[in-house]
Every structure is written in structure tokens, then in C-alpha cells.
Amino acid sequence: MKSPYATKAPSFQQTLDIFKGKWASRMPSDKGVDAGETPLFEDPRVDWAVDNLAKLGVELKSSTVLEIGPLEGGHTYRLIRSGAKTVTAVEAHPEAFLKCLAVKELLSIERVNFLYGDAAEFLRSIGHSYDIGFASGILYHLVNPVEFLELLCRRTRAVFIWTVYWDAGAALGGPGGAAGNAGAEERVHSGFHHTLHRHEYGSGFDYSQFWGGPSAYSNWMQKDEVLGALSHFGFSRQIFDLEANPNGPALRLVATRP
């Protein structure tokens, strides 16, 4: 059996190689190291969120941020570099959580607290609030997305959300081509009527290479119902954009109370 112990002096690359072949994110371009391919540490969606929250009167530099699903800390890093007062980042995937801790040390990220656990249960359990809720790539991996939006709205005064949404004309474009093909269900949650479109991850579903949701399926929402749910829970001041995405049409938005 090969020894797991390091035999070289500490280095950025050697630390990343603890998870060699398992990184989704590309590290900041000035670091000169190899990891994943997705540029989350240089993601312009964070800049878009900061700029548009400011249009709604919410300044990142004076705000506490609750980040849901930091994955490998890329957006966390961007939020801190953009001036967030503090970031509390809740990650449910154990390997992703450990990657966040490694990145925190490697990039000397300050004013951040990474927590391991389920975000919905965290939102249920706390008695305090945050200025901004930041949830990128989360909503379309959930079984009960409207419940999550309600919980998030209860514990924040503004939100940024990026999500893929269900659209009849693009239903075959999701991962595995299964988005919306597994049936739709009418639901009512806290008085909000909506339709959930079941998305099956398919036969290729493998937790060892998957950092989405905890279930083998999720429920996608329509764009107007994502916006409608936020309004229903009090976040009726909204700015949003639509964008193309390999997994289906995507929505980025900021919202706050009047």
C-alpha cells in the first residue's frame, strides 16, 4: 500500500493535489497552479450581484453574507475581495467542505466561517439574520425549492440567486436530458401556488463526481414562479437577467423588501 504522507515541502499545488482530479474550479489565474476548469474564483456573476444589490440600496461592504453551497470557495473568495464584512458559508458535501478549508488557508481568506451541514436545517435552527443571502447554483438541485426560498427570505434582507429554470421549449437541454420529463406536480407552500418539474439525474448519477443536491432527483421551477415566490415572501423589489447555460436557461437575480 502506497504511503499517503507528503514527501515534499508544502506548496499550493501539493495541497490542491490532495483532491487531484476532483476539482471543479480553476484557481485564480495569478497562482499558476492546476485544479479544475470552471472559473468560479473569477466569476463575473459576483460583480453583477454586487452592482445590482447596490442599485437596491444594499452595499456589500457593510453587509454580512450568508452563502449557501460555496462548493470550493470561489464565490466566497470573490465576495471577500469585493469587500463583504463577513461571509458565513454553509456546505453540505463533505469533500467540498474540506476543499473550502484548504482554499481558505491557501488564499488567506479572512472574515469567513465555513460550516459543514444542511443549509435548510441551518436556516431553521438560527435565531439571527444576515444582510445578504447568496445562493448560486442551488435552487435547481433542491426537492423543495419554495420552502428553501421562504427560509432564506426569513433570515436575510436581500438575496442573490443564480439558477437554471424549467422552460417548456428547453426542457430537453438539462443534464441527462431529463429536465421536466419526469412529470410535473402542483404544489402549495405557505400559500404560494406553484408547479414543480421533476428532474432526474439519470443513470450516470455518482456522488463521487457530483456536488449538486443530496437526492437522485430535484424539482425545477419556472422563471416567473421563482420571481413570484420571492415576492410572496416579501422580496418584491427585484432586478434580474436571463442567460444561456449548457444545462438549460438560467436566471440571475437580486431581490429585497420594499
Q: Report whether pLDDT(4) > 90.
A: no
What pLDDT is stored for residue 203 in this prediction?
58
Q: What is the pLDDT of residue 32?
A: 93
Check residue 160 and give its pLDDT.
98
Q: What is the mean pLDDT of residues 92-107?
A: 97
Task: Give the per-residue pLDDT at 208.
Answer: 57
* Tens of pLDDT, residues 195-217: 999 988 775 555 555 566 777 88
Q: Which three cell numbers stand for residue 244?
A: 444561456
Relative to beta strand 130-136, strand 156-164 is: parallel
Phi (first) and psi of residue 195, to 5 degrees: -115, 135
CA distance to 27, 41, 79, 146, 258, per residue, from 31 (Å): 7, 11, 18, 39, 42
Contacts of 144 (CB under 8 A, 6+ apart): 120, 189, 219
Q: How far is it, in rounded angstroms, from Cα 136 to Cα 87?
A: 14
Please state, in angstroms and rounded to a whole number, the distance separating the CA atoms of residues 226 and 244.
17
103: nearest Cα among 25, 202, 190, 39: 25
Per-residue model confidence (pLDDT) at position 183:
84
- Quote the pTM value: 0.93
| Cβ neighbours of residue 235 closer than 8 Å, sequence gap 6 or more | 153, 158, 159, 255, 256, 257
- pLDDT recorded at residue 181: 61
Note whether 22 and 38 are within 8 A (CB).
Answer: no
Can you tell me the mean pLDDT for 244-253?
90
**pLDDT at site 175:** 47
At residue 245, the 3 state secondary structure works out as: coil
What is the model's pLDDT at position 212?
66
**pLDDT exceeds 60 at position 257:** yes
Burial zone of 204 (CB within 10 Å; 0-12 exposed, 13-18 middle, 19+ buried): exposed
Taking residues 222-239, report their average pLDDT: 98
At 209 the pLDDT is 57
Other beta carbons within 10 Å of 258? 6
pLDDT band at 8 (very low <50, low <70, confident <90, very high): very high
Tens digit of each residue's pLDDT (9 = 90 or more) over 42-91: 999 999 999 999 999 999 999 999 999 999 999 999 999 999 999 999 99
Give the model confidence (pLDDT) of 138-194 as tens digits: 999 999 999 999 999 999 999 999 999 999 877 544 444 445 566 899 999 999 999
pLDDT of residue 238: 98
Instruction: Give me the pLDDT at residue 176, please.
Output: 46
CATH class of 28-168+222-256: alpha beta
